[in-house]
Structure 1
Amino acid sequence: MSTDPDAAGPLSPKARTAVFLLGLCALLTIYSTQPLLPELAQDLNVPVGQAAWTITATTLGVAVMAPFAGSVSDFLGRKRVMVAAIGASLAATLACALARDFTAMLVCRFAQGLFIPFVFAVAVSYVAEECTGAAAQGANALYVSGTAFGGFCGRFLSGAAATHFGWRSSFVAMALVLLVTLAVTAAWLPRERRFRRSESLLASLQGIGRHFGNARLLGTCFIGAAILFLQVGSFTYAGMVLEAPPFELSSFEIGAVFAVFLVAVVVTPLTGRLIGRIGRLRTFVLVSVVSLAGLGLTLVPSTPAVIVGLAASSTGVFSGQTCAIGYAAEAGGPAKSSAVGLYLTSYYAGGSIGAVAPSPLYSAAGWGATVGLLAAVVGVSVLVALAAWSAGAGRPHRIEEPVS
């Protein structure tokens, strides 16, 4: 057994709890206004379509800050940046509850997006540095499982709180979750031991440019974009299908479909073990097949079949995210956080495209053609993974121990 205090190893149960909550808060607020759009539109005097900008504003904030958040943590350190970001996100969330007009709401939602990368990118880098081998794969899977629960929890809490106490209470409910995450992270997440500080913030920022010559990382960024393209595209247009005949589900029932994210919460931690056994590339191919099978099942004109299909597709997405995000951190070399930040920008760019790109095809040829497009994107992502991850992707990458 190593006596090196800086040696990497598995995280303690308390630290694993903190990692799960970090994943939860990374996705908690982004889509939380989806159930609130009609009420926001009415109270803030804007059309419902314009109220959807409360989602776009947050994703735009994420995309703007993601490439730089990692560089800041490369200079300032991991834990202190994450704790500060959670505190700032909590303040921005409470500010949303106090917004008196639509412009103020958009500013606050944009601010929420600006702080998210300081949790998302930095947490992944923390795991990559503090753990190796199977421990790293397991911690990454736990983190992604947290993001799956956060995606569900944000929508569920918003809808439940708004139904009983009005839309402003939904932001208070999320602020309470962020407060718990802040306390747990501050108390239970150990300070980084293997972190090597960048010489200066400028030197850290310069590392971003070098990533554009890293073909493996760029391929991984494309895979991340494809992953969220599939997730957003499938749920956006499947929701329209379920609203129309022969399904005719209500808005509440369609919103409840997001409970399928809970399947991913349970299954995704197992993905880390699978990567340790058969390798990242084989695991990604396998979970992509699961997503494709799920997409195929949504073509059956039966509500249970569509829901099961979406559950399978979503589970494949989160498991694929476990494969990709861990590789992004490792492929980034010393500049892990900025590499994950670049991945994060690509990831959300893919989701933004997935929300609108299938629209003409869906309008012209229906859900079957849309499924064909989504399946094609999955297929291309597998081909890119075969090219980008083939050398060494069949086994977990090991982070070299520092020379003492």
Structure 2
Amino acid sequence: MSAAPEHAAVFEPHLPLSLLLTAAITGALAFLQVYSIQSVLPVLMRDLGIDAVTAGTTVGATVLAVALMSPFMGMLSDALGRRGLIIASVFFLALPTAAMFWTHDIGQLWWLRFLQGLAVPGITVVLIAYIGEEFSGANRVRLMSFYVSGTVLGGFLGRFLMGYLDEWIGWRAGFLVMAALSVGGGVLVWRHLPPSRRFVARPQMSNAAKTLWRHLHNRHVLSACALGFCVLFSLLGCFTYINLHLAASPYYLNSAQLADIFAVYLIGMVITPLAGRLIMRFGANRTVLLAVALSVFGVLLSLSTPLWLIVLALAMMSTGVFITQSATINYIAQHVEEGRSLASGLYYMAYYAGGFAGTWLCGIAYAHAGWPNTVSTLIAAQVLAMVIAGVLMVKKRQLKFSGSL
């Protein structure tokens, strides 16, 4: 009973701005490198002599590594703790990024991108577990929303900066600058991320196996994983191949101009914190249905010819995806009370597996019949997401994770 006043002092109704900003910055660092290569894909095709599908695999390499590593990082975090893994992962991410300066063939680039992906779950999976463990109620929703806003900012800055760095100093030197940003960001996180106060180590592998078994029989975890698959399938499939569409006739956009297109991400950064209010009012499944419907309309609108309409379409599509992502990770935090890192790891495994599938299948679609065929593939994934939200995701019941599932 004596611990209660201590927790009450730490978890105040109104979180300090510094903590909200730290969550956002950490989220940004996770995604600063992941998608940065998208804005220079046309240049890579020219410099390395590769086709569209091969260029798309440089995006898929990172998300494949994230998918493979996420559940293992969840188990490691449940055993060793949160904060140290988050900080170490941010610093490690700078190493393969800097090594891209010496890249001269697609094989080297692919493996370095894969190494980048191995570090990302140490930030994303562990931070979500950290927030879900240390905070509750409206505070948890606010921190999750700021974290997702940070991931949006990181995704935008990575693409935006690499596009302009390629125009100014070339893409190889540009990756050195990106690595320096990861190092600087790592110092900030190290200094400002508060230590865990509620973490309890669970190092036994037998416990991890039992927790994994329960997660795999938890319909809430499984539906969130399926939805996550569809979400990143749509986002990566869209933003990887829209670049090639806009670099070709009649637009002929260069790397810097393609980087400007990613400014639509900033709309998502503004909208996403408001997702918390939607989630609290309508629940996760209804919020997801509204958000995916917005994304579907955006993808269809991208078939328009005027460039300004395509930009508007991308803004709508990405905003819907960001709101869906925020609702889904809050849904997991709400329905999981044990093994949060492992549950987050399973979610991100499915999420990034969807991203890998999106870059692959949409690449095949684009190679066969251009952007219209890619749109058809994206719509199929989004319709599946609506079915998952409307049928499998339900309001929280009086089901506790530790009970019978």
TM-score range, shorter chain: 0.7 to 0.9
In 2: Cα distance, 1:46 partner to 1:303 partner: 28
Rate the CA distance shift 1:148–1:129 in 2: closer, same or farther, 3 A: same
In 2: Cα distance, 1:399 partner to 1:141 partner: 23
> Within the alignment, does 1:353 sit opposite 2:362 as a pair?
no
Q: Structure 1 residue 360: deviation in Å?
A: 5.8
In 1: Cα distance, 2:215 partner to 2:32 partner: 29
Which residue in 2 is equivalent to 1:47? 50
> Within the alignment, does 1:248 sit opposite 2:248 as a pair?
no
Rate the CA distance shift 1:293–1:86 in 2: closer, same or farther, 3 A: same
**Contact 2:57/2:110, CA 8 A, preserved across alignment:** yes
Which residue in 2 is equivalent to 1:6? 7
Which residue in 2 is equivalent to 1:83? 87
Give the secondary structure class of the aligned counterpart of 1:195: coil
**Contact 2:86/2:127, CA 8 A, preserved across alignment:** yes
Rate the CA distance shift 1:215–1:41 in 2: closer, same or farther, 3 A: same
Q: Structure 1 residue 137: deviation in Å?
A: 1.3
In 2: Cα distance, 1:317 partner to 1:383 partner: 15
Q: Which runs of structure 2 are paired with 1:3-402 in the superposition (5 Å)?
A: 4-7=5-8, 8-9=11-12, 10-37=14-41, 47=50, 50=54, 52-98=56-102, 103-201=107-205, 203-204=207-208, 206-243=210-247, 247-252=250-255, 253-358=257-362, 367-368=371-372, 370-392=374-396
Q: Structure 1 residue 370: deviation in Å?
A: 4.3
In 2: Cα distance, 1:236 partner to 1:41 partner: 13
Residues 187-235 of structure 1: per-residue CA shift (max 9 Å, x gap): 2111111222214355335533432212221111110111111112223
Q: Structure 1 residue 114: deviation in Å?
A: 0.7
**Contact 2:73/2:122, CA 8 A, preserved across alignment:** yes
Give the secondary structure class of the aligned counterpart of 2:188: helix
Q: Structure 1 residue 283: deviation in Å?
A: 1.6
User: Comparing 86-95 with 305-314, which one deviates more in the overlay?
Assistant: 86-95
Structure 2, gaps ≥5 residues long: none
Residues 48-75 of structure 1: per-residue CA shift (max 9 Å, x gap): 6656544333222212211110111111
- TM-score when normalising by structure 2: 0.87
Q: Structure 1 residue 332: deviation in Å?
A: 3.6
* Partner amino acid, structure 1, of 2:156: F
In 1: Cα distance, 2:201 partner to 2:385 partner: 34
Give the secondary structure class of the aligned counterpart of 2:333: helix
Give the secondary structure class of the aligned counterpart of 1:4: helix
Residues 1-29 of structure 1: per-residue CA shift (max 9 Å, x gap): x9622344454222211111111111111
Give the secondary structure class of the aligned counterpart of 1:80: helix
In 1: Cα distance, 2:41 partner to 2:245 partner: 20
**Contact 2:61/2:110, CA 8 A, preserved across alignment:** yes
RMSD: 3.0
**Contact 1:34/1:155, CA 8 A, preserved across alignment:** yes
* Partner amino acid, structure 1, of 2:121: P
Rate the CA distance shift 1:160–1:370 in 2: closer, same or farther, 3 A: closer
- TM-score when normalising by structure 1: 0.87
Structure 1, gaps ≥5 residues long: none
User: Comparing 51-60 with 213-222, which one deviates more in the overlay?
Assistant: 51-60
Report % sequence identity: 34
**Contact 2:237/2:363, CA 8 A, preserved across alignment:** no
Rate the CA distance shift 1:304–1:47 in 2: closer, same or farther, 3 A: closer
User: Comparing 65-74 with 96-105, which one deviates more in the overlay?
Assistant: 96-105
**Contact 2:42/2:244, CA 8 A, preserved across alignment:** no
